[in-house]
Amino acid sequence: MSIVHLPADTSVESINELLNRDGCVVIDGLMPKETVAAIRKEMDPWLEAAPAGRDEFDGRQTRRVGTLVGRSPSSHDIILNSTVLGVADQALAHATNYQLHATQVIAVGPGSEPQPIHRDQWAFDMFPFPQGFDSTFSTMWALTDFTEANGATRVVPGSHRGEDFKQFGLEDSLPAEMSAGSVLLYTGSLYHGAGPNSTDRDRIGLIVHYSLAWLRQEENQYLCCPAEVLEALPEKMLRLMGYARGAYSLGFVDGGIDSISAVRPDLVAASGEAVSLEEIKSTLA
């Protein structure tokens, strides 16, 4: 059992082969060092103000902050990274489309205990998806070096194929050690968890998760991005955030109108659906 590392210029097909086989893979150095520094600069003040976690899953010495789309312009290229989205296109190809599920900077603090090993898709109220079915695709970007000692995410390679609701201990898992700027990709069905931190410094990572567009998002993208940021976002980001139809009919406004009309009427597809939020509101008044 080992965690395969691939160089940043590896093809999407080769990455997906590994992801199918092991449920996880590390891509070394996919984020430029300048982007690591820029995201840290934008997010460190939020992180410093964040409270520690409330339970052993959140981590009592772990701090978490989200809303990366709204707070960290430098993260946008990471959320829309073409290699990652290319892998997601294949990893989540069993649904019509997928969406941004959650963004979060996670600082595992000194003295942190190991996080219970879990599947991210247990977030869906522990729904027992069929064996081998992935509802999410996860990325963990290292914003500091990740080492076994400082709490690198621990994974159980191959566990994505196994049964649901299994219990794994630390000894069943491997630390995804990687340098800052590298990314661990893993499927919603892969067992994993944050490792314990025995050093005197934070281990900082950025998770960007994607999910099938027929599921509820973990982080509420509609509520957590300020209007002035929404106005300037590219259409691809808005669609990924959920201002799009999920499958054939999910998430429309006013009987079938493209939901992007609620925030950016200028972007409504040329399908005769263009109606502004003002018009929608006036019909409701």
Ligand X SMILES: O=C(O)CCC(=O)C(=O)O
Separate counts of helices (H) and strands (E) for the chain: 8, 10
What is the bridge-based pairing of β-strands 62-65 and 203-212?
A: unpaired
106: partner contacted, choices Fe ion, ligand X, none (Cβ within 5-8 A by kind) = ligand X
Nearer to ligand X, 62 or 72 (CB): 62
Cα torsion at 242, 244, 245, 246 (round to 10°)? -30
Instruction: List the structure tokens of 148.
Output: 């076994």
Contact 206, 104 (CB under 8 A): yes
205: partner contacted, choices ligand X, Fe ion, none (Cβ within 5-8 A by kind) = ligand X
Contacts of 59 (CB under 8 A, 6+ apart): 52, 53, 108, 109, 112, 113, 115, 194
Give the C-alpha separation, 51 to 263, whole Å. 32
Q: Smallest distance from the beta carbon of 194 to ligand X, in angstroms?
A: 3
- Contact between 177 and Fe ion per CB under 5 A: no
Residues forming contacts to ligand X in the complex (CB under 6 A) are 106, 108, 115, 120, 140, 153, 192-194, 205
- Kindly determine how many residues on this chain lie close enough to bind Fe ion according to the rule CB under 5 A: 1
The number of residues making up the chain comes to 285
Q: Smallest distance from the beta carbon of 190 to Fe ion, in angstroms?
A: 9
Nearer to Fe ion, 74 or 157 (CB): 157
Q: Which range touches Fe ion (CB under 5 A), out of 20-28, 44-52, 78-86, 112-120?
A: 112-120
Binding-site member from 22, 120, 218, 258 for Fe ion (CB under 5 A)? 120
Give the C-alpha separation, 60 to 45, whole Å. 19
Q: Smallest distance from the beta carbon of 127 to ligand X, in angstroms?
A: 16
239: partner contacted, choices Fe ion, ligand X, none (Cβ within 5-8 A by kind) = none
Contact 137, 86 (CB under 8 A): no
Nearer to ligand X, 51 or 272 (CB): 51
Q: How many CB atoms lie within 10 A of CB 255?
A: 7
Q: Smallest distance from the beta carbon of 252 to ligand X, in angstroms?
A: 31
Q: Smallest distance from the beta carbon of 126 to ligand X, in angstroms?
A: 14
Q: Which range touches Fe ion (CB under 5 A), out of 43-51, 56-64, 115-123, 127-135?
A: 115-123
Nearer to Fe ion, 41 or 166 (CB): 166
Give the C-alpha separation, 272 to 210, whole Å. 30
Nearer to Fe ion, 59 or 70 (CB): 59
194: partner contacted, choices Fe ion, ligand X, none (Cβ within 5-8 A by kind) = ligand X
Give me the residues that bind Fe ion (CB under 5 A), please.
120
